[in-house]
Structure 1
């Protein structure tokens, strides 16, 4: 028995792989294309773990994906592989269409052919879990209720549109072919190992580097923040007991404006690692021109996941953000390898195992 994790060298994927092997002895095959956001440093602690195999490959390579499935015979495939940064999708929408739509299509095709050839309980028990985002639902007004699984899709960026399309493909493969799929739509994740182009790690890195802490527009855009460890726990629970064909929203019940998040980070950094000159990191905050089509508010109702599968987040925003800041303070070498570009080369003793 094993599971296959695609996009497993990225932020959420690598946290999931590490979390899985901390809770299970079941082997993991991790696949990642190793684009700019794929980082083998994230998996360095598993280099000598016999339960883990790393494979460099692209989910859009359907033949390679089918060979990988047939070789390892996983009982589940968890798909984290995606381009995810909204700003990058505005600058280069084509790469998001290729990775998130075309890639998901080819991965589904490989999974369908693999699953169709299975027999007995192996076929019945197989799961294809597709990890998506709350951004597919669009933007909420200030007084609107949070997104539920019945909220109509209304994506507003090339990123969210490409993820919405991938969600529809996953649903169609269940409805048309019977492929036993699960879809999760999660809120904004934060935590260890997040690439420093996203708000929280960017603020932490820029604060220590003496750089401006940029906030788009007035900073009053609201997000529901989900600690990545809680997200991993929710995915494990979905694999255990999720109903094939179902979609589950995963949220942290932690709405904050971007301005609140940045000011809170500055206060925490002032406490844990004060500036040498005695000033607050908040003096580095600058407001920059808002990005096009910036969604004003996301909020996720995770009641279904709680009611049907018994999942609730363990972390509040205050506890999760303290753990996150502490991790970045304790791992300066990880951050340094990102900012220097050295992470694009495998760390010492962490060569890739094979290529799909």
Structure 2
């Protein structure tokens, strides 16, 4: 197939492009606006006869229409996705996550093209720390932030375009990703790079907030499975049973890098900080036969730490500007 990947120079998008090149014979076009979170270096080394790059905005209807006409399928990763940024300035999240997704759906409608929409478990809100339940495809939406509310809105647009116009779309909602090529503003790479620079990691609040972690390569394999086998109109939750609280994650990072497990600082908590995310991915496993490769979070985290240790040239240019933002917000 000829696959268009929106946001393919971002974290999970670029991991998906690498996955496609390594595991299939599909050709790929990456459409990316190259905001601060997009990085062409994340696509370095990929064969030019398999991967093409187009710089552009998913809200540019003319460009989107032209690109859709030359592809067999679209996987839509492009999104504003950092919660802290959404609290400081919600408008870009509306422009990209709502208007951008609308623009893509209209092109998918015109060209009758297979469309897969990438979303997040944050649309479901959060769970109590001692709640035995997990999110399922039937969990009601209850977003907490401008980020998660705009992703919830984009999900609902996809569902409406499937039902109203017959768009050939599926949706996946995934738990928190970690792995190579993730911007250092995000939790795991920020803590890793702080320790590599001889600085102390930072934890919001008391560090008890729980996330359900999945390696980006497992997310990629799940998306490819849904693209190939998923039922049109269906939603699939992607998770790898990787629940850890933030304190545990930081302690694992410190230990892996040879530091004392308690060598971190607590900072002011994020407003509206969700307590716990937890994914039930049994539908995806049962109906489509998918299973994660990185079942051991500690092993996947060690591999991620090794990548950041070996690729300082990739993350160092982002680091100072990121830390300056945190200092300005009082969360340094």
TM-score category, normalised to shorter length: over 0.9
Equivalent residue for 2:123?
A: 136
Task: Please tell me whether the aligned partners of residues 63 and 110 of structure 1 are also in contact (alpha carbons under 8 angstroms).
Answer: no
Task: Name the counterpart of 2:56.
Answer: 57
Q: Secondary structure of the residue that 1:104 maps to in structure 2? A: helix
> Alpha carbon RMSD of aligned pairs, Å?
1.2
Is the contact between residue 2 and residue 27 of structure 1 (CA under 8 Å) also seen in structure 2? yes
2:148 to 160, 164, 171: 160
Residue 335 of structure 1: how far off its partner (Å): 1.8
Unaligned runs of 5+ in 2: 322-332
* Distance in 2 between residues matched to 1:90 and 1:281, nearest whole Å: 33
- The offset of 1:318, in angstroms, is 1.4
Give the TM-score normalised by structure 1: 0.88
| Partner SS, residue 45 of structure 1 | coil
- Cα distance in structure 1, aligned partners of 2:167 and 2:132: 34
**Which runs of structure 2 are paired with 1:231-270 in the superposition (5 Å)?**
231-270=219-258
Distance in 1, Cα, partners of 2:141 & 2:68: 31
Q: Which residue of 2 aligns with 1:192?
A: 180
Q: CA deviation at 1:171?
A: 0.4
**CA gap 1:41/1:333 in 2 versus in 1, 3 angstroms:** same
The CA deviation at 1:281 is 5.1
Distance 2:186 2:239 in 1: 18
Give the one of 311, 319, 328 matched to 2:299. Answer: 319
> In the alignment, what sits opposite 2:280?
301
Contact 1:210–1:284 (Cα < 8 Å) also in 2 = no
In our comparison, the structure showing a higher alpha carbon Rg is 1
Alignment of structure 1 residues 64-103 onto 2, 5 Å = 64-70=63-69, 72=70, 74-103=71-100
**TM superposition shift of 1:210:** 2.2
* Alpha carbons of structure 1 residues 106 and 207: separation in structure 2 relative to 1, 3 Å: same
Query: What is the TM-score of this pair, normalised by structure 2?
Result: 0.94
Q: Is the 8 A contact 2:108 2:114 kept in 1?
A: no
- Partner Cα separation in structure 1 for residue 241 and residue 185 of structure 2: 24
- Please give the alpha-carbon distance, in whole angstroms, between the structure 2 residues aligned to 1:144 and 1:89: 30
Shift of 1:283: 5.2
Question: Which residue does the alignment assign to 1:213?
Answer: 201
- Residue 140 of structure 1: how far off its partner (Å): 0.3
Deviates more, 1:21-30 or 1:299-308: 21-30
Q: Gaps spanning 5+ residues in structure 1: where?
A: 116-125, 271-279, 342-356
| SS in structure 1 at match of 2:185 | coil
- The one of the two structures with greater contact order (alpha-carbon pairs below 8 A, sep at least 6) is 1
